[in-house]
C-alpha cells in the first residue's frame, strides 16, 4: 500500500474503525496516459458510478483492501473520499433588495447560469420560458424538472428570478439570464461530492458560463485539495466562473470547508443588517478563514439574511411569505447575488475571463468597518463598482479580455447595483420593497 496516494481525509477514515468488508465511497484520480497505454492494475476492476472529464477521475465504492490495491496501481494518482455535501440555509425575517442595474440594460441576457442544487420548480412563474436545460442526477427517471426541497428554487430566484409572481417585487439579480439546472442534492438537501461534480460538468457541457454552488461539506478547514475543490478550480481554468458559498459554520475562524477553499473560485460570505441599524456586518453564521493551507477566504460578502425569493410548490422551507415566495438566510442565499452579478457583467461583456470578473467584484467591494478581512474578504459586493473603472467609465463590449477591474469600455452603462436588504421601518424600507434602492448589492444546514 502506498499511503501517499490517499488524501488525508481518507487516511483518517482508513485508520479508524472500518470493517474489512465495508464499502467506502471514493473518487479515484488517474493518469490518462497510463490508461491509454493499458498500464493499469487494480483500476481495471473498478466499476465507476460517475466519470469526470474536467479532472481525470471516477467515483466508485471500494473495500479497504481494494483501496490499498488501488494505491499500488501506477495509473492511480490520488484517492479522495466521496464526502457528503449539503445546503447552507436557515430561515429569518424577510429583508430583500432588487437590483437597479437591470434598468440600465444589463439583465443577464445572453448568459446561462448553472445552478447545481436541489432542483427547480419548473412551473414557478418567475422562471417561465427561461429553463434552458435540466438534469436530475438524483432520479434519472424523472420526466420533468422539480424541487422537493425548495432550496434550489430559492437560489435560482435570487440569481435570475423575474419576480413575475409578485409583480416584480422580488425580482432576482439577472432576470433575463437563462438557467441550466442540475439537481444534485436530495429532498433533504444532502448528497455526495461525486454527484455534485457530475452536476457541475453537466451544467458546463450545457452552456453554463457561471455556476452557482450553494452547498458544501467537510473537511473543516479544507485546504483546497479535496476532489470537489480540484474540479471547481479546473472549471475556472476552462473559462467558467464558479461562485461558492463560504458555509454557515461561523463565527469561529478556520471554518471554510469544501469546495469554498478552492483557490480560483469566488467564495461568498453573508452580510446582514438589523432593524434600527442600517450598517452592514458579517452574519454570525458566515464561515471565516483562513483555509487549511492558510489562504484568506472568503473573497467578499453579499446579503444573506431574510432574503425573499421563489418558493417551490409544496415545500415549507424557510418562512413563507405567500404561495410563491419564502424568506431564508445563509451563505447559500448570499452566493446567488454574486452569481447574478457575474451574469450582469457577462451580459455587458461576454469576453471577460473568470479572473477578470473576480478582480472586478473584489476591487468594487465596499469594506465593512471594524470587520476582520478573514470574515468579510474585500467587503460587501457592489455591482455598480464592478461595472465601472477608476475613471467611472462603464463596462461595455469594447472592454475585452485583459481589461481587468481597472478598465472599462466606452459603450454600455449601468446605474446603481442590486440593493442591500434594508431593515423594516428604516427610511429606505418602502423603496426596498418596490425594488428601487440605489448602489450596493447584497447554507450549510447540518445533516
- Give me the catalytic one of 194, 260, 273, 332: 332
146 part of the active site: no
3-state secondary structure of 104: helix
172-182 b/e with 16+ CB inside 10 Å = b?
Answer: bbbbbbbbbbb
Is residue 115 within 8 Å of 179, Cβ to Cβ?
A: yes
- Give me the catalytic one of 7, 151, 154, 324: 151
420-435 b/e with 16+ CB inside 10 Å = b?
Answer: bbbbbebebbebbbeb
Please spell the DSSP secondary structure of 126-158, one letter per residue: GGTT-EEEEEESS-TT-SS---SSSHHHHHHHH
Separation CA 74–CA 34 (nearest Å): 8
321 DSSP assignment: S
| Phi and psi, residue 235, nearest 5° | -65, -45
Q: What is the C-alpha radius of gyration for the chain, rounded to an integer number of angstroms?
A: 21
- The arrangement of strands across the sheet holding 319-320 comes to 307-310, 325-328, 319-320
3-state secondary structure of 320: strand
Separation CA 312–CA 325 (nearest Å): 8
Q: Which of 3, 29, 27 is nearest to 15 (CA)?
A: 3
DSSP-assigned beta bridge partners for residue 446: none
Q: How long a stretch of residues is the chain?
A: 447
Separation CA 412–CA 104 (nearest Å): 9
124 part of the active site: no
Angle between helices 354-364 and 331-348 (to 10 degrees): 110
Separation CA 157–CA 30 (nearest Å): 38
151 part of the active site: yes
233-237-241 Cα angle (round to 5): 75
Please give the positions annotated as active site. Answer: 117, 151, 332
Amino acid at each position: 500500500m502506498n499511503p501517499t496516494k490517499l488524501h488525508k481525509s481518507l487516511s483518517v477514515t482508513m485508520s479508524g474503525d472500518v470493517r474489512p468488508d465495508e464499502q467506502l465511497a471514493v473518487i479515484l484520480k488517474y493518469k490518462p496516459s497510463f490508461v491509454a497505454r493499458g498500464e493499469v492494475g487494480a483500476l481495471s476492476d473498478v466499476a465507476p458510478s460517475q466519470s469526470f472529464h474536467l479532472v481525470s477521475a471516477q467515483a466508485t465504492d471500494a473495500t479497504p483492501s481494494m483501496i490499498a490495491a488501488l494505491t499500488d496501481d501506477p495509473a492511480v494518482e490520488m484517492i479522495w473520499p466521496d464526502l457528503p455535501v449539503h445546503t447552507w440555509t436557515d430561515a429569518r425575517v424577510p429583508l430583500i433588495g432588487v437590483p437597479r442595474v437591470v434598468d440600465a440594460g444589463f439583465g443577464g441576457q445572453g448568459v446561462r447560469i448553472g445552478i447545481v442544487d436541489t432542483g427547480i420548480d419548473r412551473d414557478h412563474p418567475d422562471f417561465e420560458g427561461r429553463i434552458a436545460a435540466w438534469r436530475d442526477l438524483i432520479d434519472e427517471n424523472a420526466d420533468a424538472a422539480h424541487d422537493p426541497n425548495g432550496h434550489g428554487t430559492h437560489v435560482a430566484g435570487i440569481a435570475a428570478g423575474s419576480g413575475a409572481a409578485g409583480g416584480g417585487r422580488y425580482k432576482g439579480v439577472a432576470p433575463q439570464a437563462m438557467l441550466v439546472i442540475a439537481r444534485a442534492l436530495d429532498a433533504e438537501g444532502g448528497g455526495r461530492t461525486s454527484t455534485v461534480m457530475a452536476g457541475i460538468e453537466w451544467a458546463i457541457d450545457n452552456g453554463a458560463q457561471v455556476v452557482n454552488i450553494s452547498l458544501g461539506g467537510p473537511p473543516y478547514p479544507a485546504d483546497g485539495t479535496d476532489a470537489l475543490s480540484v474540479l471547481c478550480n479546473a472549471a475556472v481554468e476552462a473559462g467558467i466562473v464558479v461562485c461558492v458559498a463560504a458555509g454557515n459554520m461561523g463565527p469561529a475562524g478556520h471554518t471554510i470547508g469544501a469546495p469554498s477553499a478552492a483557490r480560483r473560485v469566488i467564495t461568498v460570505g453573508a452580510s446582514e443588517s438589523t432593524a434600527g441599524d442600517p450598517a452592514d456586518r458579517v452574519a454570525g453564521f458566515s464561515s471565516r478563514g483562513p483555509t487549511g493551507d492558510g489562504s484568506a477566504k472568503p473573497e467578499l460578502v453579499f446579503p444573506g439574511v431574510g432574503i425573499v425569493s421563489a418558493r417551490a410548490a409544496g415545500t415549507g422551507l424557510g418562512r413563507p411569505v405567500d404561495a410563491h415566495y419564502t424568506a431564508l438566510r445563509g451563505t447559500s442565499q448570499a452566493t446567488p447575488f454574486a452569481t447574478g452579478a457575474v451574469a450582469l457583467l457577462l451580459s455587458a461583456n461576454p469576453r471577460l475571463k473568470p479572473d477578470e470578473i473576480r478582480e472586478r467584484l473584489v476591487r468594487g467591494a465596499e469594506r465593512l468597518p471594524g470587520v476582520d478581512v478573514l470574515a468579510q474578504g474585500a467587503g460587501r459586493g457592489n455591482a455598480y463598482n464592478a461595472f465601472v473603472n477608476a475613471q467611472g467609465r462603464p463596462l461595455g463590449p469594447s472592454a475585452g479580455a485583459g481589461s481587468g477591474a481597472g478598465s472599462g469600455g466606452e459603450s454600455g452603462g449601468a446605474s446603481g447595483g442590486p440593493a442591500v436588504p434594508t431593515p423594516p421601518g428604516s427610511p429606505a424600507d418602502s423603496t426596498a420593497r418596490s425594488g428601487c434602492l440605489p448602489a450596493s448589492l447584497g447554507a450549510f444546514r447540518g445533516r
